[in-house]
Amino acid sequence: MDLQLTGKVALVTGGTKGIGRAVVEVLLAEGARVAFCARTALEVEKAEDELGATGTALDVADGDALAAWVATSAERFGGVDVVVANVSALAIGPGEDNWKASFEVDLMHTVRLCEAALPHLTTSGGSIVAISSVSGREIDFAKDAYGTMKAAVVHYIAGIAFEHAAAGVRANCVSPGNTYFPGGVWEGIEGGNPELFATAMGLNPTGRMALPAEIAYAVTMLASPRASFITGTNLVVDGALTRGVQL
């Protein structure tokens, strides 16, 4: 099926590794023109060479830099059709520092990205996809700052969907379950806390964790114009990990 993304302009935060990189790869494969950002300049340069997309080094907690990136990308490509808010501080656990980091990165980077992109998306009839987490819908080991802010992301995006539906802008979330990739949080837990890793593996009836490409598929489908009547949705992609029923 043609996802009608050929020539569309997509902006992805955190595009050098994990889910964000997989999203960049899938969007490029679908013919989109992609710009991504990430915090580490060397990783951005490496990903640019490997992916053939336009990368920018910036800290998404810097609201001015994030807004400038959106504006510069829109000018370079002649507009914006898709934005994917992917970056997380991964500040798991209690403590004020984790709360501050989760607020500024997980929640406020999503808010600032959307605010900067919405004028362009209104013109193009574009789409927002934000990465939340299953930790935003149930109480698990990441229930504190991380889980709370991921729940806030879902609430914020649903509000964007309602407010801007008449203008043709769609906004959705994808909530991944545990996702394993080299350099990711679960690889670190596997080595540093094997008991927690074993528990997490045991909870998932598939017997494994997600691959970034599997999450990227969900993101790309929601970003596609084919999903023209899907907005305000939180799509859980967790291999039946969570037990709650969405009504």
- The single residue of 127, 132, 135, 224 carrying the catalytic annotation is 132
| Phi, then psi, of 47 in degrees rounded to 5 | -65, -35
Which of the residues 150, 156, 180, 224 is marked catalytic?
150
236: number of Cβ within 10 Å: 22
* Burial profile 210-233: b = 16 or more Cβ within 10 angstroms, e = fewer: bebebbbbbbbbbbbbebeeebbb
46 is catalytic: no
The residue behind tokens 């336009």 is: 54
**Residue 37 and residue 46: Cα distance in Å, rounded?**
12
In sequence order, the 6+-apart residues with CB closer than 8 A to the CB of 225 are 3, 4, 5, 127
100 is known as an active-site residue: no
Q: Which is catalytic among the residues 17, 88, 127, 146?
A: 146
CB 9 within 8 A of CB 203: no
Q: Is 156 a catalytic residue?
A: no
SS3 55: strand
Count, residues in the chain: 247
Catalytic residue among 73, 124, 133, 175: 133
Which residues, listed in sequence order, are joined to residue 12 by a DSSP beta bridge?
36, 84
133 is catalytic: yes
Catalytic residues, by residue number, are 132-133, 146, 150
